[in-house]
Every structure is written in C-alpha cells, then in structure tokens.
Amino acid sequence: MHYATMKKTLLCLAALSAVCAAPAMLSDEDALAAARATLANMTLQEKTQMLAGSGTMTLPAVPRVGIDREWTMSDNSSTVRSALDRWSWKYPEPRETGTKLPSLSALAQTWDVEWARRHGEVLGDECRDRGVDQLLGPGVNIMRTPLCGRNWEYLGEDPVLAAKMCAPMIEGVQSRDVAATVKHFALNDQELARGTVDTHADARTLNEIYLPAFRAAVKDAGALCVMSSYNRIDGVYASENRYFQEGLLRDRWGFKGLLVTDWGGQHSTGFAAMNGGGVEMHRGDKIRYICEPASNRFPLAEAVARGEVPEATVDEMALHTLFVMAKTGFLTNAPRAVGSRNTIEHQRVARYEGAESIVLMKNERGILPLDAGSLRKVLVIGSGADLKQCHKGCSGEGTVPYEVTLFAALTNRLPNAEVRLMPFCAKVEPSAADIANATEAGGHVEVKTEEAWCDEAQLRAAAESADTVIVFTGTELGCQENMESEGRDRVDFALPTPLQNAMHTILGWRLPRVVVVSRSGTPVGYTWTGLADTLLQTSYLGMEEGNAICDVLFGDVNPCGKLAQTWPRCYEDTAVARCGTYNATNVTYLERFYVGYRWHDATGIPPLFPFGHGLSYTTFKYGEATLDYGDEVTVRIPVTNTGTRCGKETVQLYVAYPGAKVERCAKELKAFCKLAIAPGATKIAELRLSARDLAYWDDFAHRFRADAGDYEILIGASSADIRARTRFRLNETLVFAD
C-alpha cells in the first residue's frame, strides 16, 4: 500500500474506532453531581484514602460506597508501562507488553496535530485494554538546556509548538475514557538535583514560555489530571505551592481535576493540604504523609482531628479525585471504551509517525534516497545501530513484543546484499554514574559496561569495499555520559572525545557514499557536521525505529520532519551557559524569555541547525502572502512542489514587532500547518492569528496585553529560512484576563 494511502487509512480507522468506542465521558455537571453524591456517603478516613496511593500505581477501592476496584495509573507518554509491584519499583513477572510509540521529542518533530491525536488514541486504547484508568503523560516541560536528561520525553523548546501538539494528544487519550496527566508542573526543566533545586523565573518569562503548554492542556484539551514537579519554586516545593496549585490551576484556568504529586514529591501533610495539594504518590511502602497504606495509618485524618486542617478542605481535595473517576465512567460503572493492544494498526502508527518525525538535516550530494536494487555491500558503523532502546529510560521505558533496530531493518530490507555491522574505531571507557535520583524515581537503570571498538585500518578497509556506508551516532538511553534518562542530566553537551575523533577520521576518508544517521532526543555537540554531506536526525522511535529510518533512507517516505529544538554549535553558545544559570541549588532563569531560537536571534550567535529546519527529497516554492480580516487574521500563502516527488512541507508563521513599546523577541512562532503536495501542484496554506497571539505578559496589569500598532508576519520553512513577509495593524490595545 502506498504510504499516503496507508496514513489516510490509519486516520479513517482511528475515526471509526472513536465512533465505535462509545466514550463514557460525562459532562462536567453530571460528573460533579456523581462525585458529590459519593463524597456525601464517605467517612473522613475514606475521603483521605482518595488522596494517597494504595500502592505504587493505584488508588484504593472503597467497596462500601461503590468503588469496587482500585484506580490504576501507568507511565508514560509513548507506551503503557508494565505494571509495577504494589510496594516497590519492581516488575511482577510476566510483564505485560505494549506498543512503544516514538518519544514525544519525535512527535514534536512531525509538526502534525493529526499524528498527535492518533498518538494519544493508541495510548488510550492500550490503557483500556490493560485496565489502566490514568496515563501519566504527556510531559510538556520546555527544553531550556540541551543537557536535560528528559528532553526526549518532552515537546521541544517552543511554547506554541508544545501547546498545539499536547492538546490533541490529550484529547486522543481521553477519547478512550482514560484520564491524561500533563506534567511536570512547573519549571522542572532539568533533572540535576530536581528534588531539591530552587527555581526562579520572572512572571513574564513564566507566562510566555513555561506555562502555555500547561494552559492549553487544561483549557483547550480539558486534561483531567496534572502532576506537580519535584523542584522548589521560589523556595516552596511545587507540591505545596499555593500560587501554582490554586492561583494558576484552579482559579485562573478553572481546573477541576486531579492534582497528583510526582512519585516522592510530597513533603508534608497539613501544609500541603492547606496550599492546594492533591494526591500523594510514591513507591507503595513510602507513601506516608496523607495515608500509610502499608501500616493503615491516616495522618491527614489525624491532622483534621487536631484542628490543623478543616474537613471541608479534605472534602474539596477528595472531590477532585472523585470528579475524574466520574468523568471517565469509572465511578458510575458506565460502559467505557473497549481497548486494544499490540495491534497491526498500532504498530503501523508507530512506524509511520516515526518516519514523519525524521529530519533530513543535510543532503548536499543527493545521496539520499538510496536505491535498494543497486546496493550489494553495505557497511553500518556504530554498535548503537543494533542496540535496543525500548526497555530503557526510567519512566519512559516499555516492554514490547518486538523491537526492530536499524541494522535488523537494513538486513531485512536488503536480502540480496551483504550488510555488515562494525563498531567505531574508538574506545570509550564508561565512567561511574550517579544514579541515585533515577533509582529513587523508580528507574530500572541502564549503565554501560563496555564499549565495542575496532582497529582503524580494518574499519577503513571494510568501508572502502562497501558501496554505501551508514554511520550511526548520537546518544543512548541510560545514566552515563552520552546517555539520556530520567533522574540525571547529561554530563557533557558534546559526544565523548574518542567518538568525535572517530567521526572526523571516518568522514575524513571522503568515501563517495556515506550517510550519517544521528539519534538523540536532544541537541548534541557535533564538531564534524561540516564534513558530512548527508545527515539524518532521528529521536527515539520505539519498537519500529529501524523500519521507520529505512522508510526514509530508501524514499518510501519523503522526509518531512522539522527540528523542534535549535541545535547550537557548542554548549557555550546556549543561553544557560552564557548566563550561568544552570546549577544544582538555586536556578534563576536570567535568560528570561530568550529560549532557543529567540536567544540566537537576540545575540546573533548562529546555530548549527535552526529551529524548524528540515529538508525534503523535493523542493518547495512559496508565493506571496495575503490577509483576510475577521475575528482573526487569516494568512494565506501558496506553496508549490517544484520537484519530482510527492512531499510534505510544514509552513511556519512567525510574528515580529516593529516599533514595539516593550521588549519583544525578534520573532516568535505563532502558527503552523503541514501540507501534502504532489509534484508540480500548488496548495494554499491557511494560518490563523488571533489578537491574543500577539500579546505579551504585562507585569503591571498581571494580564496578557496586545498593543495597538504594526505587526510583521514572517512565513518560513524554518526560523532562519523566511520565504514571505507581510504586515498588518492592530487598531486597538486589548487586554486578556488570561
């Protein structure tokens, strides 16, 4: 089946599945009524039981009031993690398997809201099949530093892209009667000392960069759950921070749902309850501040009895939990969506979503796409090309029925060719890893025990005898240098020096057909890209990773991914490095709203690859932009496929602020759309811009404000490749309540 037809079929199947699922989601009014009716029959101890885990991933059953089974939670944003033991981080055997989709860093690189929705639907389906009621995802923390160990679990550096991608994913999950959990709220933008670090961001930076994705999750997508982060914010733990938990979530955004701590993120009983706290979760035998399921104690009920916490506060907290249970049909025993798991459809979603996320960074000599029929001898350099990743990553790990590596996919794709795998001509000695945070958070920690390497002369001889060489580099999932994972940041932006030197050596041979495939969930410091004629960048793509990469290498899928993260040339070029605002104690966001491409625009420091960059096997020509005025400004621009292949182009709309009355960025992403265009054909990109999209946070009014004046619209293929410009005028100043 042709790829475009395949995707259309998958989306049609998704629509049919949604219709057949007959979702049980109640209206807010009906859910609230059901929750209140149940609450009215509960004792104080039973109410407090609704506010703490009965085990590592469960809330308790209360049969006396009709809650006949435990409410079940599961990680993560790309799979439904195998069930954990009630009292530990261990997996009971046998483990349940499930589809492992691409990471959220990959999903962001699709710039495709349809894939985001389908991603969520697959996770919702697999939750329902497993009897899981609450999915602990998506993660929407902004990439502030490329060192963050969880960048691969998030949606990039830009708040608009993250907001527009997380909302349909949440809608997809919840269309299957499963509660989605947006996390980690808030300012949890590093793993280094995440449980103790104190973070500080000014109000404008907070509202313009770090809150929009959370706001979209709650207000636009109706996320039923929010997870608080581990860190302190202005001296107060996020799980006890009244401004964030009540002022922002409840009062400003109208959040009615369940607020849950990250596992081990609770630090008090009465103080947390009086400051907007929610459900306490941890490893089962360490839950202790609200209830102690292991010893059947009730500290919160005891605090009520002592007069430290009003029972009305406990009622309100428990009501939030019961509301979410009612919304999903769990509390009312309504018929819920019928799930499915490990289906062919889900595996195809994993493969083709992954393929569309891959970014063609360079193709200077037109080596790609490869012609499978002409290949007789292929050398793959880099042992990582056959190293499985799905079981790694701590909270992001999965248990899969199978996993296709790049080397396996190439071997299957080229049955008549000799496909050989050799390691690098470089030896990297693994160093000791500080894995305490990952272990405490329930990670099944992966560390390196050895690094394969070979003789340089042998490798060169093998490379020179091959008709095509594929070099596989980048990062792995795990907790040492050159690895990414929850619980620990990367220790260095750059690849280890021996691997950098090996890349220079291999590319310095100037072989005629060399393709570099870089895999990472975050920008990596590469010093050799000037020597690489051909470069593909992929994030972690799950169980179909190898097939997805091959689909792009051989042209079954025309690459259409765009970078969701600016790639700096070196760590010293990043905002956190220049401002000195990355440490393990007190982190002040001194770079303010100059994050990612905004920083590079402001400083004039050229990136290695700009935000939004991504090439194709075809070419696109942009026409002139026109504007239509109504409640919103509609921007239309014709885009023509000037090549010989069908392709997809993501049209990006940025806004600039000539004559601004306050400090503004040089430009900011505000809208995007993805077009599939046949060779020689033209399609019209339509992008809508509201007055609120023009607004900045006014520190004096504590509101978003759009000033009357001139605005410039920039339409581009990336943040650095602007193809069309036009202007319009906002005739009146507008202030927005939120």
Spatial separation of the C-alpha atoms in residues 353 and 90, rounded to whole Å: 31
Question: Whose structure tokens read 């291999």?
Answer: 506
Confirm if 507 and 514 have CB atoms less than 8 A apart.
yes
CA distance 253 to 246: 9
Burial tier of 387 (Cβ tally within 10 Å: 0-12, 13-18, 19+): middle
Task: Give Cα 163 to chain centroid, integer Å.
Answer: 11
In DSSP terms, 291 is beta-bridged to none
Find residue 669's DSSP bridge partners: 654
**Catalytic site residue from 129, 133, 189, 262:** 262
**467 CB-contact burial (10 Å; exposed 0-12 / middle 13-18 / buried 19+):** middle
Residue 537 is inside which H or E element, if any?
Answer: strand 534-538
DSSP 121: H
Cα–Cα dist 422/382, whole Å: 6
Cα 62 to Cα 82: distance, rounded to the nearest angstrom: 25
The tokens for 448 are: 């390196």
Beta strand residue intervals within 481-533, DSSP E: 483-484, 514-519
Site of tokens 């430009």: 667
Which among 486, 476, 479 is positioned nearest to 521, based on CA atoms?
476
Both structure tokens of 24:
């049980």
Q: Are 713 and 675 in contact (CB under 8 A)?
A: no
Burial letters for 56-86: b for 16+ Cβ neighbours within 10 Å, e otherwise? bbbbbebeebebeebbbbbbbbbbbbbbbeb
**Sign of CA pseudo-dihedral 245, 249, 250, 255:** negative
Which residues touch 98 (CB under 8 Å, ≥6 apart)?
A: 79, 80, 82, 126, 130, 341, 342, 398, 399, 400
If you compute the radius of gyration of the chain from its CA atoms, what whole number of angstroms results? 25
CA distance 337 to 328: 10
Active site annotation includes 262? yes
**CA dist 246 → 195, 252, 272, 534, 735 (Å):** 21, 8, 12, 51, 23
Tokens matching residue 47: 């109410």
CB 688 within 8 A of CB 634: yes
What's the rounded Cα separation, in Å, for the pair 279 and 265? 10
Reduce the DSSP state of residue 523 to 3 states and report it: coil
Which residue from 439, 352, 400 is spatially nearest to 89, judged by alpha carbons?
439
Kind of pairing between the strands at 258-261 and 514-519: unpaired
Q: Give CA 87 to chain center in angstroms.
A: 29
Q: Which residues pair with 181 in a beta bridge?
A: 225
Residue 333, token pair as written in the block:
């025993």
Write out the DSSP string of 660-729.
Answer: -SS---S-EEEEEEEEEE-TT-EEEEEEEE-TGGG-EEETTTTEEEE-SEEEEEEEEEETTEEEEEEEEE
The DSSP 8-state label assigned to residue 69 in this structure reads S
Length reported for the chain: 738
Cis peptide before 146 (omega within 30 of 0): no
Query: Do 308 and 270 form a contact (C-beta atoms < 8 A)?
Result: yes
Contact 612, 650 (CB under 8 A): yes
Active site residues: 262
